[in-house]
Amino acid sequence: MLTPRRIVASRILVLLTVVGVLAGCVSREESTPAAAAPPTVPLSDLAGLVLAVGDQKGGTEALLRSAGQLDDLPYRIDFSTFTSGPPQIEAATAGRIDFAITGNTPPIFGAASNAKVKVVSTYDGGGAGDQILVRNDAAIRSVGDLRGKSVALAKGSSAHGHVLAQLDRAGLSPSDVSLVFLQPADALTAFTQGRVDAWATWDPYTAQAERQLPVRSIADADGVTNGAGFGIASDVALADPLRNTALSDLLVRYAKAVRWAKDNPDEWAARYSAEVGLDPDVAALAQGRSLRLPADLSEDLLASEQQMTDLFAESGQIASAPTFANWVDRRYADVLKPLYLERA
């Protein structure tokens, strides 16, 4: 996994200017421990509830709908689409959404900004779709060749964490490259126009590039980062009996939907392609390697997240390393445990 090395103090001071993905500032205050869960209520009491759920590239809604898990909902879901995980964390902190699924890095930046959210579930994926791409005609052959080069990526995204880990393994730091913070659509434009040398991104953007552009990968996150996805819920939603109950129900539905997708890969790829407007070949590639199955919020997983958190702090990408476990709430562990054990 990650192999952090020493970063000199002067380098940290130089890089502090990149701090503040959420609301432009980073707090050194840490979240209070997860509060006791309010009592659940009967699902019949949720008839008037609207649960606000953040989505990316249509993935969450498309998966739930394709698996039939949006049928007969005892509450309503209002889906909204975001370009990446960090804006979802920001929206949850601001009370605009109750829940979202992100990659492994947005919760780190959220914790560093004292975001009012908690990690409530996790999904493993291996990280094969999280890649660093270069154009076919580029002289860059390895991560080490990125010294002095520019890399486009979304700040605070899983791509940010992946690049940081790869640089560290290669004996480089962020100051040895030029990190250009762009959301995927803008990063794609900059990359195809030759304004950046490399692009770090995740599926389905990786799959789109691989299938539609003359590119090659110089690194992927498999075995380098934990490749996890995280379900995050707002503190406000977790404190509300109605939303807390709905979230428990939604997490079960999502876990069942992922299991359905794993058991029906061709049908899921076809439906995902139609739902989000992707070429069928792109959808099949992305979902074939990046479908994240429900998993345990284990101590080993949290230790790997803390390791990445520490690396972000040591390299100056955040001002200090929060205790990641303070942003984890295991209240749904018992209801989810049978579902992630099904895959064993």
230 and 310 belong to one structural domain: yes
119 assigned to some structural domain: yes
Answer yes or no: do 107 and 231 share one domain. yes
CB atoms within 10 A of CB 73: 17
Determine the Cα–Cα distance for residues 142 and 177; give it in Å rounded to an integer.
13
Range of the domain at 67: 11-18+37-127+226-341
Same domain? For 142 and 187 the reply is yes
| Claim to verify: residue 153 and residue 103 sit in the same structural domain | no
Positions in the chain short of pLDDT 70: 1-33, 341-344
Phi and psi angles of residue 29, each rounded to the nearest 5 degrees, phi first: -75, 140
Count the domains in the chain: 2
Paired with 201 in beta bridges are 131
Please say which residue of 220, 244, 260 terminates a domain: 220
Answer yes or no: is 6 within a domain: no
Cβ atoms 226, 305 nearer than 8 A = yes
Residues 109 and 169 in one domain: no
- Domain of 242, CATH number, reads 3.40.190.10
Is 27 among the domain residues? no
Tokens of 282: 């792109």
Q: What CA–CA distances, in Å, run from 93 to 96, 263, 301? A: 8, 35, 24
Determine, yes or no, domain membership for 110.
Answer: yes
pTM of the model: 0.88
d(CA 241, CA 264): 35
Final residue before a domain boundary, out of 174, 194, 220: 220
Q: Are residues 182 and 198 in the same domain?
A: yes
Question: Could you report the per-residue pLDDT of 2-22, keeping only the tens digit for each?
Answer: 443 333 333 333 333 333 333
Establish if 32 belongs to a structural domain: no
Do residues 248 and 335 both lie within one domain? yes
276 shares its domain with 239: yes
pLDDT at position 126: 79
Give yes or no: residues 103 and 64 share one domain.
Answer: yes
Residues 164 and 72 in one domain: no
Residue ending a domain, choose from 192, 220, 248? 220
Residue 166 CB contacts under 8 Å (≥ 6 apart), including other chains: 132, 143, 219, 224
CA 204 to chain centre: 13
Q: What is the pLDDT of residue 36?
A: 87
- Is residue 31 situated within a structural domain? no
